[in-house]
C-alpha cells in the first residue's frame, strides 16, 4: 500500500500526523526481527 506522505520524505523524517505509519513500520521491523531470531 503506497504511503505518499511517508514516501515523499527521507528516512527518519516523518510528516506530522504520520505517527500511525511510524508505529506500523516500527512494529513490522520488530516482528520481522523476532521472526528471524525465532527461525534460527
pLDDT of 37 above 50: yes
Q: What is the C-alpha to C-alpha distance for residues 6 and 36, in angstroms, rounded to an integer? A: 26
Distances in Å between the Cα of 37 and the Cα atoms of 30, 31, 40 are 11, 10, 5
Q: In b/e form, how buried is each residue of 1-31, taking b as 16+ CB within 10 angstroms?
A: eeeeebeeeeeeeeeeebeeeeeeeeeeeee
Tens digit of each residue's pLDDT (9 = 90 or more) over 7-30: 555 555 555 556 777 788 888 888
* Predicted pLDDT of residue 1: 46
Amino acid at each position: 500500500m503506497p504511503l505518499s506522505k511517508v514516501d515523499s520524505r527521507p528516512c527518519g523524517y516523518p510528516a506530522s500526523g504520520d505517527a500511525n505509519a511510524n508505529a506500523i513500520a516500527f512494529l513490522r521491523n520488530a516482528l520481522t526481527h523476532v521472526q528471524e531470531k525465532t527461525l534460527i
